[in-house]
A and B are shown apart, each in its own frame.
Chain A
Amino acid sequence: NAGVTQTPKFQVLKTGQSMTLQCAQDMNHEYMSWYRQDPGMGLRLIHYSVGAGITDQGEVPNGYNVSRSTTEDFPLRLLSAAPSQTSVYFCASRRGTGVDGAFFGQGTRLTVV
């Protein structure tokens, strides 16, 4: 019963490098989202998807790309990392709209130097 799996758990990047944060869920959830958590700011929505092939921007999308080729996977790409992207990143999924709460992965702590 894996739930939402994020990899890696920790990552250090140099400014300008690119990388992909992986997120996979095994609950056949339609909805998946990426959030970033910064001190004193709670979690903020980066991108989200309502199904395979459908993605849209959240509150803070700049510098990030996503795609959703399968129901299970929702990777987040940093094209050219900047120190401002130092944060903890969470992937979440949910079955559908309504009272069901989102299931979160364990997060990725990313440091850009």
Chain B
Amino acid sequence: KAGVTQTPRYLIKTRGQQVTLSCSPISGHRSVSWYQQTPGQGLQFLFEYFSETQRNKGNFPGRFSGRQFSNSRSEMNVSTLELGDSALYLCASSLGGTGGFYEQYFGPGTRLTVT
């Protein structure tokens, strides 16, 4: 079974631009969660999608958005990039459902650098 894939793996953008990151979950997984990891703040939850609906959201500004398609693939978008958005963006997939009792499988991450 193929693992979680993320594209692109590395990205360099300029302040003010926007960026779209993609995540393909493990086949059969319906939940996709996105996380941001920085040296200062560590891992932080961005949002979770389940069956094309945003089910949970972290404390990030509206510049961060996402969506999930009918095949469970997910994208996240960051508009008007700031230097502080430089981070490793990870997605994780799980079977989902309710109860928070599902193991999450992480992708390799997209390293975004904003200059």
Whether chain B is bound by chain A comes out as no
